Amino acid sequence: MTLAIDVSGLSKHYDGRAVVNSLDIALAPGRICGFLGPNGSGKTTTLRMLCGLLTPDAGSGTCLGLDLRTQATQIRRQVGYMTQRFGLYEDLSIRENLDFIARLFELPQRRLAVDQALERLALTGRQQQLAGTLSGGWKQRLALAACLLHQPRLLLLDEPTAGVDPKARRDFWDEIHRLAAQGITVLVSTHYMDEAERCHELMYIAYGQVLARGTQADIIATAALSVWSIAGPDLQPLVPVLQQQPGVRSVAAFGNTLHVAGDDAALLQAALAPYRQRAELQVTPAKASLEDVFIGLIDRVQDNFSQAA
C-alpha cells in the first residue's frame, strides 16, 4: 500500500533556529491524524512543506506518491489546504468565491463542481451571501467547500475549528469522518482534546520534534502516568504546593477537581498522603486522559526550550 504521506528527516530553520527538526511522518490513506502541540511548535510549517508551499531545508519523501521536492506543483493540485485564518475574499459571495477557486484549478465542469460543493456543505441557501458577513462556523464551511472543489486526495487542515461553536465543530468533524470513509486522508492540527479523541491516530510535536505518536490508547499507555483526583473546597492554594512535591509532574484544574499526575506511582502517593487525611478533601485514583498526558509533555518541553534558549 502506498502511504498518503511518507516523509523522513523533514527540517526547516528560520534565523538559525530549527522550527521543524528531522520530522518523520507516515500516514496511510483514509486515516485521520491529529497534529497537536503548543503554539510555535512547527505544525503550520510542517503542513506548508507537505503541500508544497515551503521547501524543506532537509529531508525527503513523498506526498500522495509524489516527490516532496521535485513534484511540489503536482502535489498542490491534489491537496486541499485549509489555513488558520479565513483566506477567501470577504467582498465576494459564497458562490463567487467557489467559482474563483474552480477557475484557478481549471475545472472542466466548473458550474457543476460549485453546485456540488454548495450542496455538500449545505451552503446552497446562502450562496449569494457575502463571505465577509458570515459567522465563524459558516466561514469554516465555505473554506472546507473550497478545499474540496478539486476533489483532493489529502486534506491538510490548520486549526480549522478555532473560534467555532460546539455544534459547528461537531458538524465539521462528522463531515471529516465521511471524507475519510471515502479514502481521503486528513492531517488536522487542533488544540481541542475532544477533537483529538476523534482522530484515528495522533502526533504530538513541540518545537519541531515529535514527543508522542500513535492511537489515543497507545499514547496514554506509553506515558504510564499515575493520576489522582482531588476534590473539595478552595483547591487553588494547593496547586503551587503540590507542584513542588517530589513525584508530581503536573497539577491541572478540571472544574471543581485537581488532576495530579506523576511518573512514579509510589512517589506520587507519598506526596498526596497528607491530603488524604484531610476530611474536607476527597483524594481518589483517576484514569489518565490525553489532557493529562499533554499537559505533562507541555511542561516538560517548555522547561527544555527555556534552557536551550
Report the pLDDT averaged over residues 188-208.
91
The residue type found at 181 is: A
Which long-range contacts does 172-180 make (Cβ < 8 Å, 24+ apart)? 172/140, 172/141, 172/144, 173/198, 175/121, 175/144, 176/32, 177/32, 179/148, 179/155, 180/30, 180/31, 180/32
Shared domain for 196 and 290, answered yes or no, is: no
pTM of the model: 0.88
Which of 144-148, 214-218, 264-268, 293-297 comes out lowest in average pLDDT?
293-297
151 plus 290 within the same structural domain:
no
pLDDT at 308 over 50: no
86 compared with 132, residue with greater pLDDT? 132
pLDDT, position 301 = 64
| pLDDT band at residue 40 using 50, 70 and 90 as cut-offs | confident
Q: Find the mean pLDDT for residues 121-144.
A: 93
105 and 237 fall within a common domain: no
269 shares its domain with 175: no
CATH code, 11: 3.40.50.300
Q: Which of 219, 243, 272 is the last residue of a domain?
A: 219
Same domain, 43 and 182: yes
End position of a domain, from candidates 154, 186, 219: 219
The answer on 146 and 255 residing in a single domain is no
Average pLDDT over residues 135-140: 89
Q: Percentage of the chain surpassing pLDDT 90?
A: 73
Judgement on whether residues 109 and 247 belong to the same structural domain of the protein: no
Residue 303 pLDDT greater than 80, yes or no = no
pLDDT for 305: 38
Domain housing 302:
224-308
Higher per-residue pLDDT: 196 or 296: 196
The CATH number for 283's domain is: 3.30.70.250
CA angle 235, 239, 243 (to 5 degrees): 155
Q: Are residues 201 and 126 in the same domain?
A: yes
Q: Considering its fold, how many domains does the chain have in total? A: 2
Judge if 22 and 87 occupy the same domain: yes
Q: Compute the distance between CA of residue 229 and CA of residue 245 in angstroms, rounded to an integer.
A: 16
How much is the average pLDDT of 9-28? 92
Q: What is the mean pLDDT of the chain?
A: 90
Do 45 and 12 form a contact (C-beta atoms < 8 A)?
yes
Among 80-94, 144-158, 292-306, the least confident range: 292-306
Question: What count of other Cβ atoms lies within 10 Å of the Cβ of residue 119?
Answer: 12
